[in-house]
Structure 1
């Protein structure tokens, strides 16, 4: 979040306490809650569901050994009735690394083929389900986030 917000990259430990910050992309200001992804953090995710306008799910594209567990968590979110209408932005992060998975590899590994609704900004009422899309990003390389959050802002 610091690089997106301040243009500076800081090394952070995994999120153990919920953090929030405001970020502006174009004309939209997002209040972002970093809930963390470790097992203890996942226990409180549902506490936030009633108040969310969107879900941003970050995948470490270079951590293939975590793909199966991450995929299970993503699909739990996607199947949760409490947030069945909110848009889901999936970020395949760390594409600056040589060992990062490709866009297609993430689609295959996370079984997203029937989940994604397109990047073309179709009106929400013309989509077969809630808006959901995967964008490849790099905090270090400052790539992909602008496009991803512009896409999301169309559906909030």
Structure 2
């Protein structure tokens, strides 16, 4: 029974308790998507009706700068899709625990994300929420703040 209590505590801490949202985890291979899913323990095994996505979590490997142009191309393609024009995007720069990881400013520059929504609670006024958070999934750092930010908009 303690595992159920723990699971609900995690969801509440991340702002996802009592939320009915479909989050899509995207990113290049080896960016940390599967690891993050296992850390959150929030894999939804039910098939929902419809294909509407409530939010996108896009992971980028911050220690692999050679693949940043490829990440940018994928992200740009997603951001330009009309069906995702109102979908909030959380960009997670993962693997900051690695000594060669780039900074948040460098990641923003490489991805062309100079102006984003802001990390606080921001009224939308028709603007799609998009923000960058740096994290280390394996060290359990940073992604919680990002997921809490995203939960405001789903």
Out of 132, 135, 138, the position equivalent to 2:133 is 135
Q: Which has the higher contact order (CA 8 A, sep 6+)?
A: 2
The number of equivalent residue pairs is 123
Q: How far is the alpha carbon of 1:151 from its aligned partner?
A: 0.3
Out of 139, 143, 146, the position equivalent to 1:145 is 143
Instruction: Work out the CA distance in 2 between the residues paired with 1:76 and 1:102.
Output: 23
Between 1:116-125 and 1:68-77, the stretch displaced more is: 116-125
2:87 pairs with 1:96: no
- Is residue 58–residue 91 contact of structure 2 (8 Å, CA) maintained in 1? yes
Instruction: Work out the CA distance in 2 between the residues paired with 1:146 and 1:57.
Output: 14
2:102 pairs with 1:113: no
Q: How far is the alpha carbon of 1:62 from its aligned partner?
A: 0.4
Q: How far is the alpha carbon of 1:90 from its aligned partner?
A: 0.2
SS at structure 2 position matched to 1:124: coil
- 2:72 matched to which residue of 1? 71
Out of 14, 18, 28, the position equivalent to 1:37 is 28
Out of 15, 23, 27, the position equivalent to 1:26 is 15
SS at structure 2 position matched to 1:108: helix
SS at structure 2 position matched to 1:90: strand
Would the alpha carbon gap of residues 36 and 79 (structure 1) be closer, same or farther in structure 2, given more than 3 Å must change?
closer
> Structure 2: which 5+ residue stretches go unaligned?
1-5, 30-49
- 1:43 matched to which residue of 2? none
Instruction: Work out the CA distance in 1 between the residues paired with 2:64 and 2:149.
Output: 25
Q: How far is the alpha carbon of 1:139 from its aligned partner?
A: 1.2
- Is residue 50–residue 83 contact of structure 1 (8 Å, CA) maintained in 2? no
Instruction: Work out the CA distance in 1 between the residues paired with 2:117 and 2:75.
Output: 16
Q: Please provide the CA RMSD for this pair.
A: 2.5
Instruction: Work out the CA distance in 1 between the residues paired with 2:25 and 2:118.
Output: 25
Following TM superposition, where does structure 1 have runs of at least 4 consecutive aligned residues deviating by more than 6 angstroms? none
Structure 1 length normalisation: TM-score?
Answer: 0.70
